[in-house]
Amino acid sequence: MTDKKMVLVSGANGHLGNNLVRLLIEKGIPVRASVRNIKSKECFKDLNCEVVQADITDKASFKRALQHVDTFFAVGAAFKLWAKNPKEEIYDVNMLGTRNTIEAAAEAGVKRIVYVSSIAALDYTNLPTKESNGYNSDRRDMYYNSKNDGEKLAFDLAREFGIELVSVMPGAMIGGEAFLPLNVSYNVLKLILNKQIPMDTKITLNWVDVKDVAEGCYLAAQKGRSGERYILANEKCLTITDTTKLAQKLYPELKIKVPGTVPKFILYAIAGFMELSSKISGKPPLLTTKEIAMFSGLQQDFDISKSRNELEFNPKDSQQAVREALAYLMEHRELI
């Protein structure tokens, strides 16, 4: 990727997409930003980039968007852990999106793709988790399934079409520029500041600054080896409860309470009630039984030496990322 060649960032009004667009513009790279809804342009205010409409479920729209593009940052995806019909709304959308966008890239003559996968596509059996561990064998979550199967499909299609493709796997992205609705990860910090996490779920998150992930995507385009996967996260995770303690220490005036510990069967009961309420309201539950089963006690610690050595990826540590993200939310009170 050279500074003279046009790049496309899909999902450019999302949290990572928009911060990546900003980084690329700063580096003097001509950027085309694609969004599903062309009216969603508030986050491009004062940004020197071309904004086009493209939907990952519509291959023709991406073939148009990818004309004269050298490098494609495939960021756009359905990023949610809950839906009324998760297979249809999450898995099918992401699998179709992967096929459509890579086929469109091949037909448009794109040279290189940075495919944004997720730490969801990693095997957590042996800690710290690294890329060579393989794929996640836990098939209980449709978003996780879509990231595992989507990444495999991306590599298969890239080989078939002779396109260079590098996969990056971000952790829980926070910080940077943010717009409503907040992404899943940032929303956890919002819940903490709003004192809406009353109990200790023992769920951990691997916090990483979105600006560091954007830099990692750029570095992957420059230095990543085709056919390889790179973790863009931190070495150590933090529990949501430890994250809450950090917020409590930083903002004593908010009187945030540390979540209380309850037996797991009570967590399941509360989550079950929340799921039932969501079926009626149509709004995502704060907690699901699947999340407790899959994530309570799961350590999301990573060996990021491959990204450090090959990409020169050097993220700020998770506690610093949390401090800066909380400060951003406190400064932008309209977001919380």
Q: How do residues 181-202 score in pLDDT, each as one tens digit?
A: 899 899 999 999 999 998 999 9
DSSP state of 41: -
The pLDDT score that the predictor gives to residue 79 is: 87
On whether residue 252 sits in a domain, the answer given is no
Q: Please report, as a single letter, which amino acid is at residue 294.
A: M
Cα 218 to chain centroid distance, Å, stands at 15
**Is the N-terminal amide bond of 181 cis, ω within 30° of 0?**
yes
Q: How confident is the model at residue 62 (pLDDT cuts 50, 70, 90)?
A: very high
What mean pLDDT do residues 111-127 have?
A: 95
Residue 329 has pLDDT above 90, yes or no: yes
pTM, two decimal places: 0.95
On whether residue 266 sits in a domain, the answer given is no
Q: 35-69 in b/e burial notation, b at 16+ Cβ within 10 A?
A: bbeeeeeebbeeeebebbebbbebbebbbebbeeb
Residue 1 has pLDDT above 60, yes or no: no
The pLDDT score that the predictor gives to residue 81 is: 81
Longest CA–CA span in the chain (Å) reads 58
What mean pLDDT do residues 300-307 have?
A: 97
What tens digit of pLDDT does each residue of 3-33 get? 568 999 999 999 999 999 999 999 999 999 9
- Give dist(CA 270, CA 57) in Å, integer: 36
The pLDDT score that the predictor gives to residue 2 is: 46
Residue 76 has pLDDT above 80, yes or no: yes
DSSP state of 28: T
What tens digit of pLDDT does each residue of 259-282 get? 999 999 999 999 999 999 998 898
- Give dist(CA 262, CA 204) in Å, integer: 16
Q: 40 — phi, psi (to 5°)?
A: -85, 70
On whether residue 292 sits in a domain, the answer given is no
Cβ-based neighbour number of residue 140 at 10 Å: 10
On whether residue 83 sits in a domain, the answer given is yes
On whether residue 255 sits in a domain, the answer given is no
Q: How crowded is the C-beta side of 31, counted as CA atoms within 13 Å?
A: 27
41 or 71: which carries more pLDDT confidence? 71
CATH number at residue 158: 3.40.50.720
96: domain range? 7-175+208-235
Residue 84 has pLDDT above 90, yes or no: no
Q: Are 8 and 65 in contact (CB under 8 A)?
A: yes
On whether residue 197 sits in a domain, the answer given is no
The pLDDT score that the predictor gives to residue 291 is: 92
Residue 42 has pLDDT above 80, yes or no: yes
Q: Are 292 and 262 in contact (CB under 8 A)?
A: no
The size of the chain, in residues, is 336
The pLDDT score that the predictor gives to residue 20 is: 98
On whether residue 157 sits in a domain, the answer given is yes
Count of domains forming the chain: 1
| Residue in this structure with the two tokens 């399941």, named with its chain if needed | 268
What mean pLDDT do residues 156-167 have?
A: 98
In sequence order, the 6+-apart residues with CB closer than 8 A to the CB of 25 are 31, 47, 48, 49
Q: Are 301 and 127 in contact (CB under 8 A)?
A: yes
What mean pLDDT do residues 91-106 have?
A: 97
Q: Are 169 and 121 in contact (CB under 8 A)?
A: yes
Q: Which residues, in sequence order, are bridge partners of residue 232?
A: 170
Tokens of 93: 């959308």
On whether residue 324 sits in a domain, the answer given is no
Cα 235 to chain centroid distance, Å, stands at 17
CA distances from 161 to 75, 94, 113, 190, 268 (A): 20, 20, 12, 43, 46
The pLDDT score that the predictor gives to residue 4 is: 66
